Amino acid sequence: MSVLPVTEHAWLIAENGLIHSFGEMADLPETHADETIDATGRMVLPAWVDSHTHLVFAAPRDGEFTDRIKGLSYEEIARRGGGILNSAGRLNAMDENELYDQSLARLNAVMATGTGAIEIKSGYGLCLEGELKMLRVIRRLRENAPIPVMASFLAAHAYPLEYRQNKVGYINLIINEMLPRVAGEGLADFMDAFCEEGFFGVPETERLLEAAAKYGLRPKIHANQLHYSGGVQVGVKHNALSVDHLECVGEAEIESLRGSDTMPVLLPGAAFFLGMHYQPARKIIDAGLPVCLATDYNPGSCPSGNIPLMLTIACTQLRMTPEEAINAVTINGAAALGLQRELGTIKAGKKANLILTKPIPSLAYIPYDYGNNNIARLIVG
Ligand code: NIG
Ligand code: FE
């Protein structure tokens, strides 16, 4: 986590979309490039990999933001039919093309802050047609955006009102009707569920993950955001690629992650925006585990997809060093998507998705200079 090598006075050659080679200026080979970029005084980094977002949504929830300031909690708002259900109502009422245009604008905005690969979840449809609409929008983004886009199927995000007295009915709907369509059309890479008290419990999450495994969808789940929900353990048991949120992590959770192939993903933007206690990053790292950081970009708990802002929160509130935080949004972000062989470090043969910074004195300056954009350019390929 803490080692982040830097080469001073360096060159880098990209060819056919990949990093061809790099080294120190003294060793620059004879080169005939189509385009040369002078990076004097600047830094070149692997682009951020944002492994957890809900970037496809129909409308902001600034009204609930004000309600929370006045004293309502995130959970109370959800119980009253707001929150995720509010977003589902808006999304189901929106035309697919308009949803796509809005989402593409958001994707372009986060690319301008250095995001060079991203994961996006469904979960604001909560019915067959709505979930398919979201996943088709994600597929169009993947086809048209220059950066890698991965999709997670999150119908188990909240129970629709009509299923509140029939929770088994909704799980059956996801397993028997949605999953076969989603998998059949190849619309998702991963299976997600909001494993949380008042949302989907451990037994429900297990049923969903077992069903998804039959279609080859590996879990990446929402775990331990509001309570010690057992989400981490159930994720590890089902070989999840990642368990995400982790505001509530104790010894049992750390023990379960140890020796697993599951990446702990921390979403400090959500803890910041909901005014919750932060994820115990130090405890996890000091136990010898990796951590990944992601934005959670969504209209309820983190209406920002800005990775540099997450770096600042990680450094100031989670007490991660700038090196740890940058590793957490590059190589560990790639690993949380199974893309660590293609992305996340500067290495010959990897995708040349790179950040060119403005002139800055050090890596630490990126989280230090918060609120300002020090990314001059995202280079894709
Ligand atoms: O990751 N916790 C569950 N899902 C999202 C929030 C969704 C919403 O409020 O719209 C999250 O924080
Ligand atoms: Fe989330």
- Label residues 140-167 b or e (16+ Cβ within 10 Å = b): bbbeebebbbbbbbbbbbbbbeebeeee
Query: To which H or E segment does residue 155 belong?
Result: strand 149-156
- Output the pLDDT for position 188: 98
pLDDT at 93: 98
Identify the segments of the chain with pLDDT beneath 70. none
Domains detected in the chain = 51-335 (3.20.20.140)
Distance from Cα 43 to the centre of ligand 2, integer Å: 31
Q: Which mutation among 242, 296, 304 tests ligand 1's pocket best, with the greatest number of atoms within 8 A of CB?
A: 296
| 190: nearest Cα among 228, 229, 217 | 217
Q: Residue 141 Cα, ligand 2 centroid: separation in angstroms?
A: 19
Question: How much is the pLDDT for 174?
Answer: 98
Does the predicted model carry a pTM greater than 0.75? yes
Tell me the ligand closest to 274's alpha carbon.
Answer: 1
Pocket, ligand 1, Cβ cutoff 6 A: 54, 83-84, 87, 194, 222, 225, 270, 296, 298-301
- Please give the Cα distance from 354 to 347 (Å, whole number): 11
- Determine the Cα–Cα distance for residues 32 and 20; give it in Å rounded to an integer: 13
